[in-house]
A and B are shown apart, each in its own frame.
Chain A
Amino acid sequence: MPTDTKRVRGPEVSQSPTLFLCKHAAVLPSHGPRADGRQRDQVDVRPVFVRCGLVSQAKGSAYIEAGNTKLMCCVYGPREMERKDETDMKCGKLTTDMRFAPFSCLERGSWIQGSQDKDLSLMLHESLQPAVCLHKYPRSQIEVNVMVLENSGSVLAHAVTCASLALADAGIEMYDLVLGCSIRQNGASYVVDPSYMEENSCSSVSSENQGGLTVAFLPSLNQISGLQSDGEMTEETLTAGVRTCIEGCYKLYPVIQQALTKAVRRAAPPAIRELKDSITNSIALQCAVLTLTTQPLFLFDIMFLKKD
């Protein structure tokens, strides 16, 4: 694990009290209903609460809550790039940063970015990059910062969804929204959108298929922009898992679209709100979001074109 080179710290003497439990945490059963009442082996994602435009200082922001997992994302940009010696000046640069609050997980984490944070930031970057039209922002930098307030499972998947919502809220041009979904495979059964306990419980029976899979998906274009799996799975299980995650993303899509529509409506001047019924597909929505920030009059032409 990389260490902080700027500070000299004493030895870490504190330990989490969970280590001293007399009775170890019970291993979660691999059949029967899940702890929070959802079904296993079905695409049963947690209901999400999303809201855009929470942080007034940021260009765009979003907050997502799924079960107990809470995260927020802020987008700053497009800003002028600091270093002018970049070889590729034709398109913009997307930087992502994902951090966990120290109190977010069961065991206290540290403020210094560990290797897990860096890894998740990289995954987030790879999932968002195909969707953002970076060629429209030459010599600019778009910063996406995700902060995990409470980690209750499938953090990366929800971070991807939150980040793409924040990008749309900021008016950054994108090809499509990116949605994330994850599953946890436990023997022959799987659970979609696992909670923290389901993610980290090791089954006592060491069976063939054990692992987790996270997929970032662009629903309108039917493209996978991010894929990550670990554990041990057969190829068939992996393929079936990817299909399940895609289904989970499709289930989430209408909710996210609705949240974005609400945010656009709230930000729009009253005259445009009358045209809200003609906003049906997400492509018109993206046009609405980005033209809102530039020329409101132009918006009318776009809306009428789409209606025809």
Chain B
Amino acid sequence: MATVQVSEAEKVYILHGIRDDLRVDGRGCEDYRHMEIETDVVSNTDGSAKVTLGDTAVLVGVKADIGKPRPMVPNEGYVEFFVDCSANATPEFEGRGGEELGTELSNTLYKVFNNKHSVDLKSLCISAGEHCWVLYVDVLLLQCDGNLYDAISVAIKAALFNTKIPRVHISADEEGGKEIELSDDPYDCVRLNVKNVPCIVTLCKVGHRHVVDATLQEKACSVASLIISVTRKGTITCTRKVGGGSLDPESIFEMTEAGKRVGKALHAPLMKLLQQEESLGKARQKVGFLG
């Protein structure tokens, strides 16, 4: 992660502020920064979304390919994640520098989606054992200012909501094999149900309290953070402790409870916003990358 140097006096200042529920930019301990979401920004993908959370910017593109299902689960498709920390974000990511962080982020995403309900994999099957849809979710970090997990998970949810998978039908050809035909109408597509896609909440332990959506300065003052991914119903799909410090079991229980509360509250406004954006249709003003 990109790091900033924080002096001892600054650390004390941030610590004392958080102790009194007042952060450097005036937020409370459980408030997010200003978040902007825009979908359908890249036309070559089947679904895309760009999320800006404070100064962190993340771009997600989803492409659907036809592939062979995994041998152990022949009637399901699958989702592949890849996170690329681009050198645009910070010079530390130049060359192979960002690879470690990218692998860590992708592995966590695999764990978050490793359950039956997040994405309906059975709907991605075309013909059992032979063809299925493979969703390649590629995440690009454009700017890095802390709290990558939250921004990435919101962007993935928005991109999956925006994904339009073309409708296919199977027909038998002359030799008895199966032939896949894509429908001619470009608007004839299948949408994914993203109601159960979880959102990740990162809680940083600063002093005796925890903060949601920490900036890089606040991260430099904390020894350990807890990442929780929460679904709309409040079930937790993945938790992970990151950082080089240790946590008290009581703090973990407190942070889990706070994370669940914050995460659950994130879903309803997000879905409303995405549906609102969708309903604008052609009249929507595209902001793109220059806004």
Contacts and interface: CB of A to CB of B under 8 A. Distances in A.
Interface in A222-256: 222-235, 238-239, 242-243, 246
Do most interface residues of chain A lie in helix, strand or loop, or is the interface mixed? mixed
B275 interface: no
A19 B117 contact: no
Interface stretch (A40-48, A206-214, A274-282, A290-298): A206-214
Interface in A136-179: none
A126 B242 contact: yes
A235 B249 contact: no
Contact of B252 (A118, A218, A227, A231): A227
Contacts of A226: 241
Contacts of A221: 246
Contact of A232 (B104, B237, B242, B247): B237
Main secondary structure of the interface of B (DSSP, over half): mixed
B239 A238 contact: yes
A177 to B, nearest CB: 13
Contacts, number: 103
Given A230-B111, A231-B114, A238 B236 contact: yes
B100 to A, nearest CB: 8
Given A206-B116, A232-B235, A234-B235, A119 B107 contact: yes
Contacts of B253: 239, 242
A218 B246 contact: yes
B248 A223 contact: yes
Interface in B224-252: 224, 226, 231, 234-249, 252
Contact of A238 (B231, B244, B256): B256
A58 interface: no
A12 B252 CA distance: 44
Of A116, A126, A210, A242, the most chain B CB neighbours within 10 A belong to A126
Contacts of B95: none
Contacts of B111: 228, 230
A19 B115 CA distance: 22
Contacts of B238: 229-230
Nearest to A118: B103
A161 to B, nearest CB: 16
Contact of A222 (B239, B241, B249): B249
Given A206-B116, A210-B115, A228 B241 contact: yes
A56 to B, nearest CB: 31
A21 to B, nearest CB: 11
A171 B257 CA distance: 39
B252 A130 contact: no
Given A19-B71, A126-B241, A228-B239, A235 B246 contact: no
B164 interface: no
B106 A115 contact: yes
Contacts of B71: 15, 19
B246 A224 contact: yes
A118 to B, nearest CB: 5
A99 B75 CA distance: 32
A109 to B, nearest CB: 15
Interface of B: 71-72, 103-104, 106-107, 110-112, 114-117, 224, 226, 231, 234-249, 252-253, 256-257, 260
